[in-house]
Structure 1
Amino acid sequence: MSRAHCRRALLLGGCLLLATAAAVAQERGAAAPLRETLGRHLQAIQARDLDALLVTVTRGDALTLILPNGKVLTTREEFRQLHVDWFAEDGWRMRFEVRQVREFGDTGIALVHYLSQQRQDDGSYATRREALLSLVFAREQGEWRLVYDQNTVIPPAPAQQ
């Protein structure tokens, strides 16, 4: 074999090795970090962007959503329809503060504090609910996807006398 053939064979072998390494890294979850997916999820809510929100949730049928009033939804379709209806409403905004993000292998948990605010007649916003979100994500084909969403209302502090 000539030197030119040897160089081509080495080059081709190197390219194949790099392509294989890239494929393995992607398969092992080299996709967006959990914090990035969480950020896209919360931004989609603030923007009322249903398509962007659904990219961050499970592709499977089972998705648990526990609403602030205790009602439990158990499917991706129920989650989707609730957000269609909610995003159609005008005059609200959400303020999020990510408190904690933890990964446990193919499971991730986020704790998010939020204020649900309603626009007033004068254009200002008043907080109507303060709550905590417990969001559980699972890796699906290397992507973080929401599988569980629980809203826990923080009761208002008692008035001081």
Structure 2
Amino acid sequence: MKKNISYKLLFLCLLIIGFSSCNIKQKESEKNEISKIENEKAFNSLILKHLNAVQNKDLNTLKSTMSPKGNMELIQPSSEIVYSVDGFMKFHQEWFKVPNWTISTKILSTDIGDKFGVATTEFLYKEPERNGKPYFNRLIVTYTLEKIDNNWYIIKDHASSIEKTIN
């Protein structure tokens, strides 16, 4: 009789351990899913902040989206590569001085990891008049972001012109 009770007690203990183990795994899975969602929200928030800063010609906000390490690659059509945040900011400071241009953007795709992510965007750049005619340039701009101290930052901007006005 004691053996039977011991087996029942052992079986009951194993059941409790098994159920609690499943519960822990479920909670861990839920926590990982929440963490993934928060990571994606933070990534998307940063890329939107960056795009809005470009649209609004806002150098201070733009700089806040850049890597605090100072590393940056800016790749533009028909230009040498710029390899620093300072160079990136200088480029944008000069560009933002050009009057009357507008830009509209949209995010085409993202691939977001734990430490690095990529966003591919479309830019439609317009000037009401360049050399006596309206000007436009449709570009695909791909951004690479790095997570540093739990925050996302832009570390690469690669633009390719797809279609534009011929001057």
- Tell me if both proteins adopt one fold, taking TM over 0.5 as the criterion: yes
Q: Which of residues 142, 152, 160 is equivalent to 1:134?
A: 142
Instruction: Report if the CA contact (8 A) 1:109-1:134 is conserved.
Output: yes
Aligned-partner residue type, residue 110 of structure 1: A
Q: Relative to structure 1, is the Cα distance of residues 95 and 30 closer, same or farther in structure 2, using a 3 angstrom cutoff?
A: closer
**What residue in structure 1 maps to residue 87 of structure 2?**
78
Structure 2 residue runs without a partner (length 5+): 1-37
Matched, 1:100 2:109: yes
Number of matched pairs:
128
Moved over 3 A (4+): 29-32
Percentage of pairs with the same residue: 18
Cα displacement (A) at 1:68? 2.1
Instruction: Report if the CA contact (8 A) 1:63-1:76 is conserved.
Output: yes
1:3-152 to structure 2, matched below 5 A, reads 33-120=42-129, 126-152=134-160
Find the residue that maps to 1:91 and give its secondary structure: coil
* Larger RCO of the pair (alpha carbons < 8 Å, separation 6+): 1
Structure showing greater radius of gyration is: 2
Structure 1 residue runs without a partner (length 5+): 1-28, 157-161
Deviations 1:2-49 (CA, angstroms, capped at 9, x unpaired): xxxxxxxxxxxxxxxxxxxxxxxxxxx869611111111000001100
Q: TM-score, normalised by structure 1?
A: 0.71
Find the residue that maps to 1:68 and give its secondary structure: coil
Deviations 1:30-72 (CA, angstroms, capped at 9, x unpaired): 6961111111100000110000001111111221000122421
Deviations 1:89-127 (CA, angstroms, capped at 9, x unpaired): 211111111101120211110000111100239xxx944
